[in-house]
Structure 1
Amino acid sequence: MTVKPYTSEGSKKKQVAGMFNNIAPKYDFLNHFLSLGIDKIWRKRAINLLKSKEKPLILDVATGTGDLALQAHQRLGCQVVGIDISTEMLKVAQEKIEKRGLSDVISVQEADSENLPFDDNHFDAVMVAFGVRNFENLNKGLTDMARTLKPGGKMVVLEFSKPAYFPFKQLYLFYFRYILPWLGGAISNDKAAYTYLPESVLSFPDGQLFDDELVEAGMRPVKRYKQTMGIATIYLSEKPAQ
């Protein structure tokens, strides 16, 4: 069963776009507040996996408000193209980019991760943070991301996962299922969005199951990096050289 943000009619893709449009003004604050700022560390670690490439051209899928794209440019001196289906999130990203005077090296546009408007073998790397679990069709999204990668190019996926060890697992799940939806809903005025968050994470195929999805999409998994006792995982994979 596909997990959707709302109980109303409409595809998951349409509902996800609407959800992020609704919470865009409070998204950055809630992201850092609810994770106690740890998400910033996870993003830096994900970006560091691309350091071996000199000034790569990077595609940032589900770029949202542009945090990952901005950090990637800051750390790697690279060019980044960000795409998202939420127009309101992209507005926030564009404001950040313009404020920092980076419009010549970072661009964002509305686009669908499952139908990317880019040529085959175009990017040196593709990255996505906390976005793949929102894909309507995971295989289609990963396959199209792989298509745009040059042979030998890297894909870095940062996504929430499920802690496995007692007692942290039980404490975290209690927070995730009950405290986070209440806090997020109260601040964003969209309780459904922060109820969907834990539901989408708990139904997501993490760990080896996600590596299997990468293989099916044509990628070669390299390594998984668990973050903060398994709250999140960074997946590094490569597109086989042709």
Structure 2
Amino acid sequence: MDLNPDLPTGDEKAEKVQGMFDRIAPRYDFVNRIMTFRLDVRWRKQTVQALELEKDSLVIDLACGTGDFCCELENAGMVPLGFDFSMGMLQAGRSASPLCQSDVLRLPIRDASVDGATCGFALRNLTELEPFFAEVNRVLKVGGRIGFLDVAEPENKFLNWGHHIYFDRIVPKVGALLSDKSAYSYLPKSVSYLP
């Protein structure tokens, strides 16, 4: 995987990403709703529905941020438990579900103890994907379900062109205007972390 040379890796990445999310936490949900035209709400709802889990299923939300996925899981009758390493995001949380500060690569959960897992717009912020997937596998019960939601580049050339204009040029400007310039400049670059 060729990473953008401006992007940190390893422990440096973890520190920078954590600090960035602590800084943008107070306005994070507001800026997300504007940048996605509220589509992020629909995408989370669709992801929760796609889990096809029964009511009262225990579902962990990894890199839960302010708890948006937890709210959707609650609305669907599930029992969510959120984990994030940014205390700022957890403090800005709106979910009534328990939210815990934790590294999602080392969850404080027993093996095979949860019915499902969600993760929204966060895979690119992790230091390593393989250990993350191994940790999710460790805590999921046999037959458990996962729903991961993230940004991808469209394969269609015309849509890809429009995506790049919006994501690379407009999103950083909107983010700088409403929140934190460096955080929203990182966002389009961070997609290069994904395989």
TM-score range, shorter chain: over 0.9
TM-score (norm 2): 0.92
SS of 2:55 mapped into structure 1: coil
**Poorly superposed stretches of 4+, deviation over 3 Å:** 1-7
Q: Using the alignment, how far apart are the partners of 1:3 and 1:141 within structure 2?
A: 22
Higher relative contact order (CA 8 A, sep 6+): 2
Which of 129, 135, 144 aligns to 1:144? It is 135
Q: What one-letter code is carried by the residue in structure 2 that aligns with 1:88? A: G
Higher strand share: 1
1:5 shift after superposition? 8.3
Q: Using the alignment, how far apart are the partners of 2:4 and 2:114 within structure 1?
A: 31
Which of 144, 149, 162 aligns to 2:153? It is 162
* 1:68 corresponds to: 69
* 1:45 corresponds to: 46
* 1:88 corresponds to: 88
1:1-242 aligned at under 5 Å gives the runs 2=3, 11-75=12-76, 77-93=77-93, 96-97=94-95, 102=96, 106-188=97-179, 190-205=180-195
* 1:222 corresponds to: none
* CA 2–191 in structure 1, closer or farther in 2 if over 3 Å, else same: same
Q: What one-letter code is carried by the residue in structure 2 that aligns with 1:51? A: E
1:3 shift after superposition? 5.6
SS of 1:167 mapped into structure 2: helix
* CA 48–158 in structure 1, closer or farther in 2 if over 3 Å, else same: same
Q: Using the alignment, how far apart are the partners of 1:4 and 1:136 within structure 2?
A: 15
1:44 shift after superposition? 0.6
Give the unaligned 5+ runs of structure 2.
Answer: none
Q: Using the alignment, how far apart are the partners of 1:82 and 1:140 within structure 2?
A: 19
Question: Is the CA contact (8 Å cut-off) linking 2:4 and 2:192 kept in structure 1?
Answer: no
1:163 shift after superposition? 0.8
Q: Using the alignment, how far apart are the partners of 1:6 and 1:166 within structure 2?
A: 26
Q: Using the alignment, how far apart are the partners of 1:149 and 1:166 within structure 2?
A: 38
Question: Is the CA contact (8 Å cut-off) linking 1:161 and 1:201 kept in structure 2?
Answer: yes
Q: Using the alignment, how far apart are the partners of 2:70 and 2:4 within structure 1?
A: 27
SS of 1:70 mapped into structure 2: helix
Give the unaligned 5+ runs of structure 1.
Answer: 206-242
User: What is the aligned-residue identity percentage?
Assistant: 32
Provide, for residues 70-115 of structure 1, a one-character-per-residue CA deviation record: whole Å limited to 9, x for no partner: 111112x12111000100100011xx23xxxx3xxx1001000111
Q: Using the alignment, how far apart are the partners of 2:171 and 2:58 within structure 1?
A: 36
1:6 shift after superposition? 6.9
Q: Using the alignment, how far apart are the partners of 1:2 and 1:12 within structure 2?
A: 12
1:202 shift after superposition? 3.8
